[in-house]
Structures are given as C-alpha cells and as structure tokens.
Amino acid sequence: MSDDLKKGLEGVLVAESGLSSIDGDVGRLIYRGYTIEDLARGASYEEVLYLLWNGHLPTADELEPFADALMDEREVDDTVLATMEKLAEADEQPMAALRTAVSMFSAYEPEDDADPEDLDATLRKGRRITAKIPTALAAFERYRLGEEPVDPNPELGLAANFLYMLTGEVPDDIAAETFDQALILHADHGLNASTFTSMVIGSTMADIYSAVTGGISALSGPLHGGANQDVMEVLIEIDESELDHREWVEQATEQGRRIPGFGHRVYNVKDPRAKILQERSKELAENGEDKWYNYTTTIEQYLTDEKGLGEKGIAPNVDFYSGSVYYQLGIPIDMYTPIFAMSRAGGWIAHVLEYQEDNRLIRPRARYTGPQDQEFVPLEER
C-alpha cells in the first residue's frame, strides 16, 4: 500500500464510472458518451436524467411515462411547506432550507421500508427527490417574498415549471429553453466534491435521502458551489461603479483582485459549458438587456488575451456565464447554488446507484503526524 500523500485526493482513482468524462486539456465533457454540446442543444433535462439513470437516451415511448412519473411526484407535503415558511421567516439561507427540505422528504417516502440493496427502489426514491426539490425551492422563495407558493403546472416540463412556480407566470420559450439547458449543463461533472460526498454516504448503504442531503451540504461550501453568485455580485459592482466596465476590470486586476469564474480544478482551457451559456446569454441580451453580456465578454477578452490568463491555463468556467444568465432570467442571486443542487441531484443519484451496484465501503487512510510514546499521567497528578 502506497504511503504517498495526495492532498485533496488529487489524481487519485477511487472508482470506475460510465456516467461522465472530462478532458480538461481540450475542453470536452461527455455524459455516457454524448457530448455536452449535443445534449444541451438537442435534449431536454428529463432526457438527460433518463440517460444518466438508465444508460441510454429514451425513445419517445420511454420518455413519456418517465416524464409523467416525475410530474406525478412534484407535490410536497404541507408540513414541508410549513417548514419552508418558517425558515423563510427566520431568514435562513436557501441552501440550508433545501438541505432541510430533502431531509423532510424522507418522512413521507412510501417505500421507506425498502431493502437498501434494492436499487430499483432507490432509483424511485431518487426520482421523488428530483421531482420535489424544485417545488420546495420555489415555495421557499415565494414565502421570502411574502407570497403563497404556486402549485406545480402539469403542462410544463421540470425547468419551465420551476420558473412558473417561482414567478407565477408561464415563462416564454427562450427563458424555458435557457433554463432547461442550464440544468443539463450542471447535471453531472465527474467526482467533484459533492458527488464524491454522496458516493461516500452511499457506500455505507445509507438511504438516498442521506446521500443527496450530504451532496447539498458539500455544494454549499464557497469553494464548490458559490462562484456564480460571486460573479454576479462583481457584475453588479461594475454596473454601480462610475467607471466604464473595461476601466473597472483593469483597475481591479491592477489592485490584485481576483475575478471569480476563472480557472477550474480540471479544465486548462475554456469550460465547454461556459461556451454554451455564453451563447444563451447573448440570445437573452438580444431580446432584453445587453449590459450583462457586454460586461462578461469584455472581462473574458481582457483577462484571457491582454492579461495572458489563457496562456496560463486559466479560462472562464461554467460559473462565469451561469450567474448572468440566471440574473437575466430574474432568479434571485442567492438561489443560484440551490439551482445548481436542483440539477446536480440527478447526477448524485446516478453515481450512488452506479457505485452501489458493486459496492465497497469507502475508507481511506490518513498519515499520522501526532506524538508517539506519550506517558499517561492520572487526572489527580496532572
């Protein structure tokens, strides 16, 4: 057994997976062999969930009952809604509220007595979690605004329905397609911190509610899930500044400020998901306000070309464009990371199921660096 220390498990292989693959040198991301570009531009989020959970893209005959089953599970118990209201009144953080909601979902699980090794039952539980998260999140936001929750609309897909429950208005096609695409882009991304957390929990054969709750907790950390919120806060700071946005970024970098949304643990080139969201940001700008798109493209051009970050392997990641896209869709800034979780829950569930098919309890070691041969002194003599 090697004694080499790999801080942060950098470069350590801990599992085999057929779910997603990343080539950080060329900027390539695939889900089960399909490029993210093809899926984002040609599939729905429901189709991608089916792909991740079942191993292949659905036919029309397979998709309809799958989407219907998700739709049938959208409603949450009144007790969950009452708790969301109490948390909104207490000014709880949205990610913490979501963590609480998912824990509560298990209290109303109709298959709570299923064998932990019954992976079909686990998948059905995962489907219920995925269907209910948008409802709980939207209700929490409505309560924060002093308004009543909006019931799910059975005529709308998961993405459009979330926007509908958030605002009370059916979104237009551009908004619905953009948000659906954003969910696809965030559905899975290898063994990131939150996915690995879910897998560790799943390896104990704990229930899928525990695994997803753990994933939410890991994603809530600022080093993992909060960069898109940071990006939008910087863009708002630029907008409120008296400086031109080009002058602002020049001055900020000269002062040593780090611009969020640049650099990635895996990618050495521009994140392929960022390229797709940049296209959507441009489309939204053409149909509304264009300043956010102008700010992001100016910052990218300046940092990449003139400051040489591209040559150093530091390029825009998905968060650099997702923040402004969500803002253009009218989504509150502190809901960005919960939306990330809403999408990524599908990937967490897929990884837990995949790992449990050939399960082995995850149990790494630590190198001991403490003292040796300490002499014990009884309490009365210390």
Paired tokens of 314:
């530091």
Q: What type of residue sits at position 300?
A: E
**pLDDT score of 101:** 98
* pLDDT band at 1; cut points 50, 70, 90: low
Paired tokens of 60:
């029309």
Whether 277 has a pLDDT exceeding 90, the answer reads: yes
Give me the residue label for tokens 């409120």: 240
Instruction: Give the span between the Cα atoms of 177 and 357, in whole angstroms.
Output: 34
Domains of the chain: 20-225+334-357 (1.10.580.10), 227-329 (1.10.230.10)
- pLDDT above 70 covers a percentage of the chain that reads 99
Instruction: Give the span between the Cα atoms of 280 and 126, in whole angstroms.
Output: 29
Task: Give pLDDT tens digits for 52-92.
Answer: 999 999 999 999 999 999 999 999 999 999 999 999 999 99
Paired tokens of 164:
């509908």
**pLDDT score of 287:** 84
Arithmetic mean of pLDDT, 193-198: 96
Task: Give pLDDT tens digits for 221-270.
Answer: 988 888 889 899 999 999 999 888 889 989 988 898 888 888 888 898 99
**pLDDT score of 314:** 85
Whether 191 has a pLDDT exceeding 80, the answer reads: yes
Instruction: Give the span between the Cα atoms of 123 and 15, in whole angstroms.
Output: 20
Instruction: Give the span between the Cα atoms of 214 and 195, in whole angstroms.
Output: 9
Arithmetic mean of pLDDT, 163-192: 96
List, in order, residues 6 or more apart from 321 with CB less than 8 Å away.
261, 274, 277, 278, 280, 281, 296
Q: With 0-12 CB in 10 A as exposed, 13-18 as middle and 19+ as buried, what is 2?
A: exposed
Distance in Å from the first CA to the final CA of the chain: 40
pTM: 0.94
Greatest Cα pair distance in the chain:
78
Whether 203 has a pLDDT exceeding 90, the answer reads: yes
* pLDDT band at 2; cut points 50, 70, 90: low
Instruction: Give the span between the Cα atoms of 16 and 207, in whole angstroms.
Output: 21
**pLDDT score of 273:** 94
Task: Give pLDDT tens digits for 301-329.
Answer: 988 887 878 778 888 999 999 999 999 99
By the 8 A CB rule, do 19 and 31 touch? yes
Q: Which residues are catalytic?
A: 264, 319
Which carries the bigger pLDDT value, residue 299 or residue 81?
81
By the 8 A CB rule, do 317 and 271 touch? yes
Strand, coil or helix: what is 171?
coil
| Mean pLDDT for all residues in the chain | 94
**pLDDT score of 100:** 98
Whether 3 has a pLDDT exceeding 80, the answer reads: no
Instruction: Give the span between the Cα atoms of 6 and 3, in whole angstroms.
Output: 9
Measured CA angle at 45 (ends 44, 49), to 5 deg: 120
Q: What type of residue sits at position 30?
A: I
Which carries the bigger pLDDT value, residue 253 or residue 106?
106
Instruction: Give the span between the Cα atoms of 296 and 352, in whole angstroms.
Output: 36
